[in-house]
């Protein structure tokens, strides 16, 4: 199953279980599904108890690890027909380790799939990432769903997303009765997003690698919830890049923030990261340079033409929305006037 030859549409989801439901994406999705008329039951799972002030009326909250074999019983108890699997470790804590992250990301997904098949769940929606394509110098200018997944082993998140997608592909062959929608999500921005990328934008000057455009594709958080809801409403299953139209280079991003870039040679940055890592001054090693200069740029044609969902915000509009929200929160990342329309990113031949 892929986005160019999609499976028939699935029945509309009515009894939905969400893993990672108290994560950033999960909260937005749970809120969106409470407004969906076709929803009969929402079971929100997270590894920690959700505080009462964050709970939505009519939602059943449950503390359960995605690695728990009893997940099968949870699906049976609530007669779940659709699972949305969001749980993964995006930004590990300082006390985390690679084995634990693998266990949650990969073994946790295997447990979810096993439970789904055992209980006759019809459809699973999985949040993957553009990182599954990897950060490589020979990435094409625009990545489509037909390009190979080469998530770098040096980046736990990218590598695990690749391994998960390889597992999903095997399960599509072995268990075709379980329909899959896999969303390869670009860099998420929203009114209250804080992540490794937004931290870069908050610097007085944006770090740029000399000779690299470092183009970014963005997706507004509400568009992620919108795409998942669209999948639950019977859109064709398949694998889809989820990103807004267009891309912005690091220099275009700086211009929209009213900032300048600090362009440094790759060799200098590599040496600095190596020394800083050895001395314990930074948690990032030299491999982090590829994360910045070889960004996977996702083409969303299949998302729009096959899956049938068009994001409401382009990459540029998502960045502008993020900047405006931060200003309204008293946390401005922007220091100058927003420019007028700019020429879109054009990949170099």
Other C-beta atoms closer than 10 Å to the C-beta of 110 total 14
The pLDDT assigned to 348 comes to 42
DSSP one-letter string for 56-77: PTT-EEEE--TT-TTHHHHHHH
Q: Give the Cα separation of 125 and 235 in Å (integer).
A: 11
Residues contacting 251, CB < 8 A, separation 6+ = 208, 213, 261
Looking at 61, 133, 135, 157, which residue is catalytic?
157
Question: What CATH number was assigned to the domain covering residues 15-189+220-243+299-308?
Answer: 3.40.50.720
- What does the pLDDT read at residue 1? 46
Using CA atoms in the order 231, 234, 239, 244, what is the torsion angle rounded to 10 degrees?
Answer: -50
With 80 as the cut, is the pLDDT of residue 94 above it? no
**pLDDT, the chain, mean:** 90
For the chain, give every domain's residue range. Answer: 15-189+220-243+299-308
Stretch among 18-32, 45-59, 64-78, 254-268 having the lowest mean pLDDT: 254-268
Rg of the chain over CA atoms, in angstroms?
Answer: 20
How far is it, in rounded angstroms, from Cα 190 to Cα 195?
A: 11
Does the pLDDT of residue 10 top 90, yes or no?
no
157 in catalytic set: yes
- Average pLDDT over every residue of 200-222: 92
SS3 category, 111: helix
* Over residues 119-141, mean pLDDT: 97
Percent of the chain whose pLDDT exceeds 90? 75
Question: Over 90: is that where the pLDDT of 199 sits?
Answer: no
CA 143 to chain centre: 15
CA-closest candidate to residue 87, choices 73, 101, 72, 69: 101
> In angstroms, how far is CA 122 from the centroid of its own chain?
23
Helices of type H across the chain = 24-34, 71-77, 98-102, 108-118, 156-174, 196-201, 221-232, 250-256, 266-278, 288-293, 301-302, 315-328
Average pLDDT over residues 3-14: 70
Identify the weakest region by mean pLDDT among 67-71, 98-102, 181-185, 262-266: 262-266
Q: Which of 69-73, 176-180, 343-347 has the lowest mean pLDDT?
A: 343-347
Mean pLDDT of 157-175: 98
pLDDT digit string, tens, across residues 263-304: 988 888 878 766 766 666 566 666 778 888 899 999 999 999
């Amino acid at each position: 199953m892929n986005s160019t030859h999609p499976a028939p549409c699935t029945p509309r989801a009515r009894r939905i279980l969400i893993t990672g439901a108290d994560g950033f994406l999960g909260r937005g999705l749970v809120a969106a599904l409470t407004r969906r008329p076709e929803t009969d039951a929402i079971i929100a799972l997270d590894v920690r108890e959700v505080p009462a002030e964050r709970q939505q009326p009519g939602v059943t909250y449950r503390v359960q690890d995605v690695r728990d074999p009893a997940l099968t019983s949870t699906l049976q108890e609530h007669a779940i027909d659709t699972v949305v699997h969001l749980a993964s470790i995006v930004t590990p804590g300082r006390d985390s380790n690679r084995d634990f992250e693998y266990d949650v990301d990969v073994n946790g997904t295997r447990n979810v799939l096993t439970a789904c098949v055992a209980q006759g769940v019809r459809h699973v929606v999985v949040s993957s990432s553009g990182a599954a394509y990897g950060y490589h110098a020979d990435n094409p200018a625009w990545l489509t769903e037909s390009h190979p997944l080469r998530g770098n082993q040096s980046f736990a998140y990218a590598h695990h997303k690749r391994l998960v997608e390889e597992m999903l592909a095997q399960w599509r062959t072995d268990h075709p009765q379980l329909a899959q929608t896999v969303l390869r999500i670009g860099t998420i921005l929203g009114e209250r997003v804080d992540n490794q990328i937004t931290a870069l934008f908050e610097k007085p000057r944006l770090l740029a690698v000399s000779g690299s455009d470092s183009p970014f594709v963005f997706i507004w958080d509400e568009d992620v919830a919108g795409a998942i809801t669209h999948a639950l409403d019977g859109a064709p299953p398949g694998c889809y890049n989820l990103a807004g139209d267009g891309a912005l280079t690091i220099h275009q991003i700086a211009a929209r923030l009213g900032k300048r870039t600090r362009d440094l040679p790759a060799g200098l940055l590599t040496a600095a990261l190596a020394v800083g890592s050895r001395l314990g001054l930074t948690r990032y090693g030299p491999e982090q340079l590829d994360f910045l200069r070889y960004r996977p740029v996702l083409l969303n044609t299949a998302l729009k033409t096959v899956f049938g969902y068009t994001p409401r915000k382009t990459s540029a509009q998502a960045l502008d929305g993020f900047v405006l929200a931060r200003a309204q929160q008293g946390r401005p990342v922007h220091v100058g006037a927003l420019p007028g329309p700019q020429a879109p990113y054009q990949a170099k031949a």
